[in-house]
């Protein structure tokens, strides 16, 4: 199988080829490794490759009931962990760290037949909208390597957009699935809170703000992946029960929807004309498909929203750094951590129990406001980001004089709509709906009520059919390689 042919299929398509015997798992694995070898030097999307898995892979598993049997896949170097493989989280502090067990999500990826060929780059502990770090270097956008693919799942986005793999694991605390999806022309679904499992090592991932899923090139891959992973594991603190098959839902277009268009971010930030134009075009497309669209939003206090993000992020930074420093027997210093992480660590040490309770209670305020809103509207449309893709490495997390409050404010201002969906726990999906003046993709986000992931996927599939993006490929793309 040539890498040109390989890159032309999404994950569902590759799995079908393998299942039908048209191509072997070994051939697919070799094509993926060739694509990685060809493209990764220019993109720095992978922190580590596992070539032995492709070189020794055979068809011994053919016939198993695996939805993604033999499909190449990558784990983000953060979140879901694999036993015996490094998980360094983009940090010098955790260099050489190896989990001794698979997370529940990794178990489900393997049960689905996915072939994990490596781990993708992330900013340090996922704390930046630019996937660059002192430990891992700068990750670049395949549409134009001078620009960033976003963060913190930028390595996953660059790998999928360039055709190294059709699908890759990603995490999202404040936009880390949706921002890279927007900047690289991908589908980025942030599922409902705890629809995908976060255990066994976590019960409330950042007090329920953070989730995990995948970045894909097609809507059907996002749906099929959710079919393979959704649902609680034993002992979940709380969870969103999965609906009927998300893949099956795609066969039925949504009925007429009442859609709210929102171009007024909850965190004040100027909107780039390209993202405004893409969002308005998406709203017009929804109208042309028979949906009712009107401008509407729900109100939130900006200061309280920033306080929530600032406090929860700092608290988890302090806790995580303390635990990892002890486990790795390494000091907490500029020799092991970037200055933005250190600023969060110091800020977290000053927090009180009252501070934490205040912001956890505020998450309830946001969730209730969103819940009331989505009783009257099926979907909200917003820009995914306020900005277009910045230059790669332009966000310096190790610069002198970083203040935590400023870092959080600037990170959140890059995608000033997105944090609300994390706090509320509702599903949100970014779709590629336009380009900026440099020819780099722009994303538009569609959100809905808690547990309404299937409806979002139905609408996304309808939009994908009406305005297909599969034929648009980046400059650095496996399908262009000879």
- Catalytic residue positions? 76, 152, 176
- Cβ neighbours of residue 286 closer than 8 Å, sequence gap 6 or more: 257, 259, 293, 381, 459, 463
SS3 of 303-354 = HHHHHHHHHHHHHHHHHHHHHHHHHHCCCCCCCCCCHHHHHHHHHHHCCCHH
Q: Which of 93, 110, 92 is nearest to 101 (CA)?
A: 110
Given the DSSP bridges, would you call strands 46-49 and 115-120 parallel, antiparallel or unpaired?
antiparallel
**DSSP helix/strand/coil, 287:** helix
Residue 76: strand pairing partners: 120
Where do we find the tokens 């009257």?
Answer: 376
d(Cα 314, Cα 159) in Å, to the nearest integer? 30
Cβ density class 146-179: b for 16+ within 10 Å, e for less: ebbbbbbbbbbbbbbbbbbbbbbbbbbbbbbbbb
Residue that has been written with the tokens 């590629």 in this structure? 432
**Using CA atoms, how far apart are residues 320 and 343, in angstroms rounded to an integer?**
14
Query: What is the spatial distance between Cα 95 and Cα 85, in angstroms, rounded to a whole number?
Result: 12
Q: What's the CA gap between 462 and 467, in Å, rounded?
A: 9
CA atoms within 13 Å, Cβ hemisphere of 420: 33
- CA separation for the pair 212, 191 (Å, rounded): 8
Strands, E, within 67-157: which ranges? 72-76, 115-120, 132-133, 137-138
């Amino acid at each position: 199988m040539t890498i040109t042919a390989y890159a032309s299929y999404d994950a569902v398509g590759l799995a079908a080829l393998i299942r039908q015997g048209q191509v072997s798992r070994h051939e697919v694995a070799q094509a993926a490794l060739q694509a990685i070898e060809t493209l990764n030097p220019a993109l720095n999307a992978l922190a580590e490759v596992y070539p032995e898995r492709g070189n020794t892979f055979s068809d011994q598993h053919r016939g198993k009931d695996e939805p993604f049997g033999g499909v190449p896949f990558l784990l983000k170097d953060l979140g879901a962990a694999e036993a015996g493989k490094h998980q360094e989280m983009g940090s010098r502090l955790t260099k050489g760290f190896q989990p001794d067990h698979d997370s529940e999500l990794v178990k489900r990826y393997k049960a689905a037949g996915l072939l994990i060929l490596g781990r993708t780059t992330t900013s340090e502990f996922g704390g930046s909208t630019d996937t660059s770090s002192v430990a891992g270097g700068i990750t670049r956008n395949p549409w134009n390597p001078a620009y960033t693919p976003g963060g913190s799942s930028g390595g996953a986005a660059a790998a999928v957009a360039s055709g190294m793999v059709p699908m890759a694991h990603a995490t999202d605390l404040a936009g880390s699935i949706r921002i890279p999806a927007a900047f690289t022309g991908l589908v980025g679904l942030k599922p409902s809170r705890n629809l995908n499992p976060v255990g066994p090592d976590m019960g409330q991932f950042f007090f329920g703000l953070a989730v995990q899923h995948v970045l894909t090139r097609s809507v059907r891959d996002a749906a099929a992946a959710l079919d393979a992973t959704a649902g609680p594991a034993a002992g979940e603190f709380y969870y969103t029960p999965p609906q009927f098959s998300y893949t099956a839902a795609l066969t039925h277009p949504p009925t007429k929807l009442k859609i709210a268009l929102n171009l007024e971010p909850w965190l004040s930030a100027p909107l780039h004309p390209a993202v405004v134009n893409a969002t308005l075009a998406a709203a017009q497309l929804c109208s042309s498909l028979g949906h009712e669209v009107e401008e509407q939003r729900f109100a939130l206090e900006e200061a309280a929203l920033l306080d929530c993000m600032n406090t929860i992020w700092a608290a988890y930074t302090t806790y995580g750094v303390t635990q990892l420093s002890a486990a790795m027997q390494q000091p907490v210093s500029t020799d092991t951590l970037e200055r933005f992480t250190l600023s969060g660590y110091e800020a977290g040490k000053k927090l009180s129990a009252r501070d934490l309770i205040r912001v956890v209670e505020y998450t309830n305020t946001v969730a209730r406001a969103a819940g009331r809103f989505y009783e009257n509207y099926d979907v909200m449309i917003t820009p995914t980001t306020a900005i277009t893709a910045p230059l790669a490495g332009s966000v310096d997390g190790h610069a002198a004089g970083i203040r935590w409050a400023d870092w959080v404010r600037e990170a959140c201002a890059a995608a000033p709509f997105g944090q609300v969906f994390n706090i509320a726990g509702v599903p949100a999906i970014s779709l590629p709906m336009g380009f900026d003046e440099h020819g780099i993709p722009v994303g538009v986000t569609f959100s809905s009520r808690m547990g309404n992931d299937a409806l979002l996927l139905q609408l996304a599939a309808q939009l994908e059919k009406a305005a297909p993006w599969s034929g648009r490929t980046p400059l650095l793309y496996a399908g262009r390689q000879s």
